[in-house]
Amino acid sequence: MHVRIRIFGKPDTVVVVESKLTKIDQFRRIVKEKFDVPPKLQRLFYGGKLLENGYTFHDYNIKLNDVIQLMVRAQPEDSPKKKTDTKTDKTKVSNGDMVEYK
Is 42 part of a structural domain of the chain? yes
* Domain count of the fold of the chain: 1
Is 24 part of a structural domain of the chain? yes
Q: At 14, which CATH number?
A: 3.10.20.90
* Owning domain of residue 64: 2-72
Is 90 part of a structural domain of the chain? no
pLDDT confidence of 8, banded at 50, 70, 90? Answer: confident
Between CA 93 and CA 61 the distance in angstroms is 67
Task: Give the pLDDT of residue 89.
Answer: 65
pTM of the predicted model, to two decimals? 0.70
Task: Give the pLDDT of residue 84.
Answer: 56
Is 54 part of a structural domain of the chain? yes
Q: Answer with the residue of higher pLDDT: 77 or 7.
A: 7
Between CA 56 and CA 96 the distance in angstroms is 72
Is 57 part of a structural domain of the chain? yes
Mapped onto helix, strand or coil, the DSSP state of residue 75 is coil
Is 33 part of a structural domain of the chain? yes
Is 49 part of a structural domain of the chain? yes
Between CA 102 and CA 89 the distance in angstroms is 6
Is 32 part of a structural domain of the chain? yes
- Per-residue pLDDT of 33-92, as tens digits, reads 999 999 999 999 999 999 999 999 999 999 999 999 999 988 777 655 555 555 666 666
